[in-house]
Amino acid sequence: MHVSASLSTPSSPASPSASAPTQADLLDFVRRTAADTALISSLPLDPEGRTWVRLDGPGGSEAWLIGWPPGSGTGWHDHAESVGAFLTATGELKEYSLATRLPTDGWKTLELSEDVDRERRLPAGKGRSFGRDHVHEVLNESTEHHAVSVHAYYPPLPRIRRYSRSGPVLRLEQVERPEDWQ
């Protein structure tokens, strides 16, 4: 099930010389938004698939409220040229990421070195920001409980590259554009 709507969220006061939001600004936004219990509880949850609602992000950023049923995940992906932040509002998520920059274009398969894997547990109230071309996979490993998270990206996502992974081999599988998920 996919729910799409635009909801107003807590925002920062506009500065006279509005500039692009930083990773710290996005993390602050997702933290404040996740603390809005009425907003978090308003997200319809589906037992079979992820649900999401688009939010008004700060400074022209793209933001989403996402519901994660037990056992769901994103698969390996990146957010192209966007910086971002996300925070778990309820439940717990796990993030697996690569501590290396990948070439941006022109490849289909890469062999990763042994020391690039990172793992992070993100219980309710915990989140993180990340830079451009960050490659990760986010999962709700619970077998019983939904998780809900808040995400923000700037600039708004121009594309998402999806990957498959078998041991050290990372393979580019698909490139999605905004019209594929909105």
Looking at residue 3, its pLDDT comes to: 41
Q: In what order do the strands lie in the sheet with 160-166?
A: 109-111, 169-176, 160-166, 76-77, 136-139, 92-98, 117-123
Q: Per-block average pLDDT, block size 10, for the chain (182 residues)? A: 44 55 97 98 95 95 97 95 96 96 83 94 98 93 98 95 95 91 66
Looking at residue 101, its pLDDT comes to: 83
Looking at residue 133, its pLDDT comes to: 78
∠29-64-133 over CA atoms, to 5°? 85
Sequence-distant (6+) residues with CB within 8 A of 28 are 12
Looking at residue 65, its pLDDT comes to: 98
Looking at residue 182, its pLDDT comes to: 63
How far is 115 from 163, CA to CA, in rounded Å? 19
Looking at residue 58, its pLDDT comes to: 96
Looking at residue 105, its pLDDT comes to: 73
Q: Three-state SS for 180?
A: helix
Q: What is the pTM of this model?
A: 0.87
Looking at residue 136, its pLDDT comes to: 96
Looking at residue 18, its pLDDT comes to: 64
How far is 43 from 148, CA to CA, in rounded Å? 8
33 phi, psi to nearest 5 deg: -65, -40
